[in-house]
Amino acid sequence: MKGATPIIAVILLLLITIAAGGSTYLWISKTQSTLFERTTSGVEESTKDVYGEISIGTVWNKTTLICMTIRNTSDNEEITYTTNDLEKMAVYVDEVPYDFNTSYIATDLFQGYFLSVCVCNTTDSSVGCNTPYLYSSATSITLEVDPPYGSGDTYVYQYTSS
């Protein structure tokens, strides 16, 4: 039995070494994966911030709304404004933040695509305006969109009542 103790010790040391090596491999793999994911998302966000752009196309007057089409005019076709991004988009009317109704935004805004956004001119809640902006006495309105990344656009609309 004197010869069995060194053999058991060597086997235990080998098992400990294999377990330590396996644990180290798993930890390094997870760390590398996390770093890769964060780097990729950071590069994507930086690309969006540099090349992303939303422009105001046309503006028109409805009875209780001033509506505008916004367009993703980004230089890079891989840049898409998701519905989550559009819900974070700021809309300003005469430099005052306007809380427009984002519940109807159900699609992503791909490069080159259009989307309509409306600003209310009524306090009538049945129209679906959550924050009215009364602009009927104005002769012109400055509309501005500011996306969560990239650059936005400003449009001065000469208001005429319909």
Each residue's pLDDT tens digit, 56-96: 988 887 777 778 888 999 887 788 888 888 888 888 888 87
Same domain, 136 and 68: yes
Q: Residues 73, 45: one domain?
A: no
- Domain identity same for 84 and 135: yes
Range of the domain at 39: 1-51
Residues 108 and 120 in one domain: yes
Question: Same domain, yes or no, for 110 and 124?
Answer: yes
Looking at the structure, tell me whether residues 60 and 42 fall in a common domain: no
Phi and psi, residue 149, nearest 5°: -145, 155
- Classify 67 as helix, strand or coil: strand
| 123 and 145 part of one domain | yes
Q: Is the pLDDT of residue 25 over 80?
A: yes
**In 3D, which of 117, 122, 121 has the Cα closest to residue 146?**
117
Q: State pLDDT tens for residues 109-143.
A: 888 888 888 777 666 666 556 555 555 556 777 88
Residues 98, 142 share a domain: yes
Q: Given pLDDT bands bounded at 50, 70 and 90, which one contains residue 27?
A: very high
Give the integer Cα–Cα distance in Å for 124 and 132: 8
Number of domains in the chain: 2
State pTM to two decimals.
Answer: 0.62
Looking at the structure, tell me whether residues 26 and 56 fall in a common domain.
no
Are residues 45 and 90 both part of a single domain?
A: no
The whole-number pLDDT of residue 161 equals: 54
Residue 103 has pLDDT above 80, yes or no: no
Quick one: pLDDT at residue 152?
Answer: 87
Looking at residue 76, its pLDDT comes to: 76
Which helix H or strand E contains 144, and what residues bound it? strand 140-146
Residue 7 and residue 44 in one domain: yes
Q: Enumerate the β-bridge partners of residue 65.
A: 120
Distance of CA 102 to the CA centre of its chain: 13
Examine the domain organization and report whether 25 and 59 are in the same domain: no
